[in-house]
Amino acid sequence: MLLRRIPKIIAGLVQRWPWWIIVATIIMTAILAPGTTRLKTSTGFDTLVSPGSKIYKDSRTYTAEFGGDPVVVLLTGKTENIFSEENLAILNRFEETFSPEADTRTHSVLSPITILKLASEEAKRQGASLEWNDPILIQAVIGDSLETRRPEVVSLVPNDDH
């Protein structure tokens, strides 16, 4: 009820005191305008990854040595959805498309698929025959929760919604 009356109340105030509304708007604009010069737009890597994280520091070291512009893809959603069979296939195709072998402009690709493939190779060296997309391997690497997540994966999957 009240939400429906608010626009009518505001319209009534504007009708009764239009000049006061205009003067008040000009004064507020004059007071707030200097603050707009202090606004900064940030589109860097640090807006997505904590500047204190290892991946951020490694990226800064790499950029200082070799230059380059990273491309960051952030996936949001529940962990079980991100690591679904369908999404893993899409991520794998993405990684294969932009791998250094497929695209010479790419230096490296680091994704959850990279970590899963490394874990699969390690498991095979130890005698287990787990493919990178095996649910058992995914569970072992990703963990049930942030507390059980492997340190190598925390920077790629920082919480249960990313």
* 32-76 tens-digit pLDDT: 999 888 888 777 777 777 888 888 888 888 777 776 666 777 788
**Comparing 31 with 65, which gets the higher pLDDT?**
31
Is the pTM higher than 0.75? The answer reads no
Determine contact, residues 107/100, Cβ cutoff 8 Å: yes
Q: What is the mean pLDDT of residues 95-112?
A: 82
Amino acid (1-letter code) at residue 43: T
Q: φ and ψ at 126, to 5 degrees?
A: -95, 5
Q: How many residues does the chain have?
A: 162
Q: What is the mean pLDDT of residues 77-93?
A: 87
% residues pLDDT > 70 (the chain): 92
Q: What is the pLDDT of residue 4?
A: 84
- Residues contacting residue 85 through CB under 8 Å, at least 6 positions apart: 133
Q: What is the pLDDT of residue 161?
A: 66
In Å, the largest CA–CA distance within the chain is 83
